[in-house]
Chain A
Amino acid sequence: MPVTVKTFASSNEAAAALSSDRTARYLGGGTLVMRALNEGDVSISTVVRASDQALARIDASGPRVTLGAGVTFARILSERELAFLHAPARSIGGPAVRNMGTVGGNLFAPNPYGDFAVALLALDATVAVQGGFGSRDIAIEEFLQSRERQSGTLVLSVSCTRPASADAFRYRKVARIKPKGGSVITLAAHLPISGGRIAGARIALGSMAPTQIRAKAAERALEGRALDAATIAAAASAVTEGTSPSDNALGSAWYRREIVGVHLRRLLSGQE
């Protein structure tokens, strides 16, 4: 049986089709669903698409930035207003993958993929989803933790608040292969500074747990302090707390635990 492709004009209809059919998957940029089909994943028999232009919209005019789920990484890189997201967008794939892969799809990408979601987690993004019962907003942390149950939902957009300064948001993907390789670990840090002190620190990690997670102990070590060497060292030594990395082809759990503090220290102190 060939796969059935259903294309809808509105995301409402697409979401309804998706939630009513367990064999249906939503086709974004194709990097997940087309690969699964190419590799013989027969659990997918329906591919759902939506031509809704809202899914490809970028709203970057104000302090709150909204990215349609269908926005590609290449489009993010072409928007000067989205400079704070350029580093994570550029860290994904090669140019072809960036022309195809989408913000929405990245939320579903399993290890060792899903680097953009690490950045969004540090930025405390909100995910707007269209479920069977209408649309709603979910905090990204909750979305990622319950990702296994989200496959029947359609992501509409992601939004976050623009960091106050270029320095307040930092991102690093540690890969074996240059310039592009799978993530050994990925780190993102949002460090708003208020009166010389960090207020509302968020550190997100990729490949340090089954899904992207926050390093809450490291956040606590930073909170309310100046970003000096002692604070950075305290955050670096606390960063493995609560993590549960695994072994995979790119590195072992041991190695990830060993280096995550080194890279957090380098990231926060501006070292290469």
Chain B
Amino acid sequence: MLELRKDIFADERDDNLKEIGKGTQRQDMLGHITGTSSYFNDHKLQGMLHLKVVRSTHAHARLRRIDTSEAERSAGVRRIIRGADVPVNLNTLLSLINFGKDDEPSLAVDKVRYKGEPIVAIVADSEREAFEAIAKVKIDYEPLPTVFDVEDALKPGAPVVNETYPKNAFIYHEAYDHQRLRFGDADAALATADHVLEQRYQMSPIEHAPTETNGAIAAPDTNGRYVVYTSTQALFFSVDTCAKILDVPSNTFHFIGGTVGGGFGGKVDTLTEPLAILGAMLTGRPVRYVFGREEEMQYGPPRGAERIYIKDGVMRDGRIVARKIRAYFDSGAYTRLSSYAAVKCAAHLPGPYTIPNVYGDVYCVFTNRTPATAMRGFGVTAMDFAIECQMDKLANLVGMDPMEFRILNAYRDGDMKAHRREAKNTALIECVQVAAEKAKWPIRDEFRRASSRKDGGGSRAAIPPTPADSRARPAAPAQQRTTYDRLPASVTREPPREPPPPTPPAAPPRPSAPSHGATRFSSVFGRRR
């Protein structure tokens, strides 16, 4: 049951609109209920071939020898694809926004870094024939020591998972193995707090489990182009990733998608499109590459695991005075999107509360497991779990009702957030009040009268003095370059400014540069100021 509380914030809204606010039927509903909505796999192409990959049976191993000679002779096999056949066999997804280093091959060449990593792709007349050929590929593995725990991976002497990041951690700003957040003096505030509570939280990986598995069908089109039917959640992300990996102009491809059987973040990684297109290029025939369910569950990227330590200082009256957080994102064997999740997570600290002293270190760590990716709640889900369990414990500790405790500490309009931007358009207090009302959870009058629009700002708008970190800056690998940090670490930098306001909805559209060839997003906005 859903109720619209039009009485709240009514003065900020124009409710006299004609189409907005109506429960209009979905445009795609008729297609869904008649089964005529067209997903990537609903395209029947003449003479279609099937692609399957040989996956590593080891979590970490050197590949001594890959023998495909028997598989080449197997019935129905049209083409065996090896790493050497992939034009640019090293990529990182966010190279499109110039963030991070290329660290992941499409097909492993000399080493595998997680169980299930693709090594060889087989294109055959039928799925059965592809499976039969897979059984005939012989791979000589030299097993290497593995590491699966994020904190173990950061210890000296831990096995190196991904040589691009030899310390098993993504490098931020060419300087640190973590993203920092510093606001006020958390240690000093902890020393004066009435209570200090330090806790550890953990979230295991989570699989997106869309009912439609990842997949793509690629086919030679007229005039030298390729048409690609895809389950991607990000069409141009896929187009440009394929253009890079296959080293052709992006307008070589005509991608068609848009109707996808669930994604939740699991269809951003562009895993099937490059190999399907390469298969079509090498055979001249339509090629389908679709994940089986076990592949989707075990070797399709999950929401990565996280481990979080929170140390809070709280006063007897319920005010939180300091929050110190250390978080580890388990990226698996390659970067994919976890590096970005860690920055988003740092920005999210300390949750929707105004806390005068906040300290955060967020790590993106490499381990020998399936690379992680984005999922619904990206970078935030586990942190919210940790923060909100912690909030419940703190309320318990000071003997306060948890709803009232949230309202007491909630951020309000005009408050300064830990990432040094003013809080605006906040509504946490009202959500707590309404949820309490719906659940018949009694809260006291003064908390019922609180408002996100009152009592914020003022002293709460100040940026507190923040001591410089006493820790020595770790040495950084020289070759690291990211969007975030183009200046040498020694140069005094201007703090980032509040960006110009976003394009207002009313503004006339700017003419857009034509997208052609190997244009990268980075060439559009990758430069810093």
Contacts and interface: CB of A to CB of B under 8 A. Distances in A.
A40 B127 contact: yes
Contacts of B130: 40
Interface string A1-23: 11100000000000000000000
A39 interface: yes
B126 A2 contact: yes
A3 B126 CA distance: 12
Contacts of A38: 292
Contact of A42 (B126, B131, B292, B294): B131
A39 B75 contact: no
B294 A3 contact: no
A118 to B, nearest CB: 26
A2 B292 contact: no
Nearest to B132: A42
B75 A40 contact: no
A2 B52 CA distance: 17
Contact of A1 (B52, B75, B134, B292): B75
Contacts of A2: 126, 128
Given A40-B52, A40-B127, A1 B132 contact: yes
A39 B294 contact: yes
Contacts of A41: 131
Contacts, number: 23
Contacts of B135: 42
A137 B86 CA distance: 59
A122 to B, nearest CB: 33
A38 B130 CA distance: 12
Indicate the member of A2, A3, A42 with the most B CB atoms within 10 Å: A42
Contacts of B127: 40
Interface string B128-152: 1111101100000000000000000
Interface in B33-87: 52, 75
A38 B127 CA distance: 9
Contacts of A42: 128, 131-132, 135
A3 B128 contact: yes
Contacts of B131: 40-42
A182 to B, nearest CB: 14
B207 to A, nearest CB: 11
Interface in A28-68: 37-42
Nearest to A38: B292
A151 B128 CA distance: 22
A38 B295 CA distance: 13
A37 B126 CA distance: 13
Contacts of B292: 38-40
Contacts of A3: 128
B129 to A, nearest CB: 8
Interface in A153-210: none
Contacts of A1: 75, 128-129, 132
A116 to B, nearest CB: 24
A1 to B, nearest CB: 6
Interface string B106-136: 0000000000000000000011111110110
Contacts of B294: 39
A42 B135 CA distance: 8
A41 B127 CA distance: 11
A40 B51 CA distance: 13
Contacts of B134: 40
B73 to A, nearest CB: 13
Indicate the member of B126, B130, B131 with the most A CB atoms within 10 Å: B131
B390 to A, nearest CB: 27
Contacts of B129: 1
A39 B130 CA distance: 11
Interface in B398-450: none
B123 to A, nearest CB: 15
Nearest to B128: A2
Contacts of B126: 2
A42 B132 CA distance: 6
A66 B192 CA distance: 78
A-B complex: 6 closest residue pairs judged by Cβ atoms: A40-B131, A42-B135, A42-B132, A42-B131, A1-B75, A2-B128
23 contacts: A1-B75, A1-B128, A1-B129, A1-B132, A2-B126, A2-B128, A3-B128, A37-B128, A38-B292, A39-B292, A39-B294, A40-B52, A40-B127, A40-B128, A40-B130, A40-B131, A40-B134, A40-B292, A41-B131, A42-B128, A42-B131, A42-B132, A42-B135
Interface of B: 52, 75, 126-132, 134-135, 292, 294
Given A39-B292, A39-B294, 20 more contacts: A1-B75, A1-B128, A1-B129, A1-B132, A2-B126, A2-B128, A37-B128, A38-B292, A40-B52, A40-B127, A40-B128, A40-B130, A40-B131, A40-B134, A40-B292, A41-B131, A42-B128, A42-B131, A42-B132, A42-B135
